[in-house]
Amino acid sequence: MNLKGRSFLTLKDFTPEEITYLIDLAADLKAKKKQGITGNSLKGKNIALIFEKPSTRTRCSFTIGCIDEGGHPEYLGKDDIQLGYKESIEDTARVLGRMFDGIEFRGFKQEHAEMLAKYSGVPVWNGLTDDYHPTQILADCLTLKEQFGQLKGLKLVYVGDGRNNMANSLMIGATKLGIHFTNIAPKSLWPKEELIKLCEGYAKESGSKIEITDDLNAVEGADAIYTDVWCSMGEEDKAAERIALLQPYQVNKEMFAKTKKDSTIFLHCLPAVKGKEVTEDLFEQFADIIFDEAENRMHTIKAVMVATLGEQ
């Protein structure tokens, strides 16, 4: 499959076959790395890593993935680059596109990632924006495949802030790949109607179902329950209000009992605020899977870079 020169801004832009290809490529690269085999597909390539928002997993994943494949990563933090302040995003993009072969962007506005892709002329990869977090979904899907051997037909339940970048991206990825998706959240935190309608179209094609509800009993039959922090970066001022609103949606043993299954797993994109969105005991019960999921960020991000920029 040829994805050369493509940007990776949202999973909306990719077919189910292309997403599956990236997950399978990541599994192959992971198996090779475990055997001590790395590649040269990014040899001679220079990659800009723009971080308006700090990160552990995203930064480490892009850096290690790039070096493993023979490339050179250059970190550009918010104090290193004046994106849209001293210089317009269009001009910054055109400068970086002349010097770098690929650009990772982790920041606030999805529009900025799209402008970088439009004006730089090189592949741009979304390391997280306020709207979407597509590389995380690839890692989640690789983890689900490792746990269950397949993706199609699984039931994935997301609980908590149902309109943040994780809930949005999980709904897109799940419905593209035939995973049944349930979003349990207070009505004030449901995803935008426009995105639900779009994903209903994907679900129709893949044979999956979407459910948006505030009823905790909808976890019944879940293969995986997923949550995220109740306050995303930049929303710290809403913490007290969110905690009050989302306390009933905490993932805990009582919620797991409602699945009526013994095989249900728990996933979290990290960092976790234990005692808030998930109890510490439940988090620790599934820690091995959660940290597989964190490690899988690196393998899936490497796959995205190799597929869109690498010489295979």
Residue 88 sits in a domain whose CATH number is 3.40.50.1370
Please check whether residues 150 and 268 belong to one and the same domain: yes
CB atoms within 10 A of CB 25: 22
Residue 203: its pLDDT value, please? 98
Pairing of strands 224-227, 155-159: parallel
Helices (H), the chain: 16-34, 57-68, 89-99, 110-120, 134-148, 165-176, 193-206, 239-246, 253-257, 280-285, 287-309
Please check whether residues 287 and 153 belong to one and the same domain: yes
Residue 5: its pLDDT value, please? 98
Q: Annotated binding residue at 228?
A: yes
What is the average per-residue pLDDT within 79-95?
A: 88
Overall pTM surpassing 0.95 (yes/no):
yes
Residue 297: its pLDDT value, please? 98
Q: Annotated binding residue at 247?
A: no
Q: Is residue 67 part of a domain?
A: yes
Q: Annotated binding residue at 191?
A: no
For the stretch 27-80, pLDDT in tens is: 999 999 999 999 999 999 999 999 999 999 999 999 999 999 999 999 999 888
Please check whether residues 256 and 145 belong to one and the same domain: yes
Residue 83: its pLDDT value, please? 80
Catalytic residues: 106, 133, 136, 228, 269, 297
Q: Is residue 47 part of a domain?
A: yes
Distance from C-alpha of 112 to C-alpha of 48, rounded to nearest angstrom: 15
Please check whether residues 52 and 108 belong to one and the same domain: yes
Lowest-confidence pick of 76-90, 102-116, 180-194: 76-90
Tell me the residue type at 88.
S
Distance from C-alpha of 142 to C-alpha of 193, rounded to nearest angstrom: 28
For the stretch 98-128, pLDDT in tens is: 999 999 999 999 999 999 999 999 999 999 9
Please check whether residues 120 and 91 belong to one and the same domain: yes
Please check whether residues 152 and 247 belong to one and the same domain: yes
Please check whether residues 163 and 108 belong to one and the same domain: no
Residue 239: its pLDDT value, please? 85
Q: Is residue 5 part of a domain?
A: no
Q: Is residue 124 part of a domain?
A: yes
Q: Is residue 221 part of a domain?
A: yes
Q: Is residue 93 part of a domain?
A: yes
Q: Is residue 3 part of a domain?
A: no
CB atoms within 10 A of CB 292: 16
Please check whether residues 16 and 155 belong to one and the same domain: no
* Residue 266 contacts residue 162 (beta carbons within 8 Å): no
Mean pLDDT of the chain: 96
Q: Annotated binding residue at 58?
A: yes
Please check whether residues 127 and 148 belong to one and the same domain: no
Please check whether residues 281 and 154 belong to one and the same domain: yes
Q: Annotated binding residue at 163?
A: no
Q: Is residue 2 part of a domain?
A: no
Q: Annotated binding residue at 270?
A: yes
Task: Inform me whether the pLDDT recorded for 312 exceeds 70.
Answer: no
Residue 223: its pLDDT value, please? 98
For 214-250, b/e burial (b = at least 16 CB within 10 A) is beeebbeebbbbbbbbbbbeeeeeeeeebeebbeebb
The residue with greater pLDDT, 203 or 239, is 203
Quickly state the pLDDT bin for 196 (edges 50, 70, 90): very high
Domain count, the chain: 2
For the stretch 224-275, pLDDT in tens is: 999 999 987 777 788 889 999 999 999 999 999 999 999 999 999 999 999 9
What is the extent of the structural domain holding 237? 137-293
Please check whether residues 150 and 33 belong to one and the same domain: no
Q: Annotated binding residue at 164?
A: no
Please check whether residues 108 and 177 belong to one and the same domain: no
Residue 78: its pLDDT value, please? 87
Q: Annotated binding residue at 82?
A: yes
Q: Annotated binding residue at 135?
A: yes
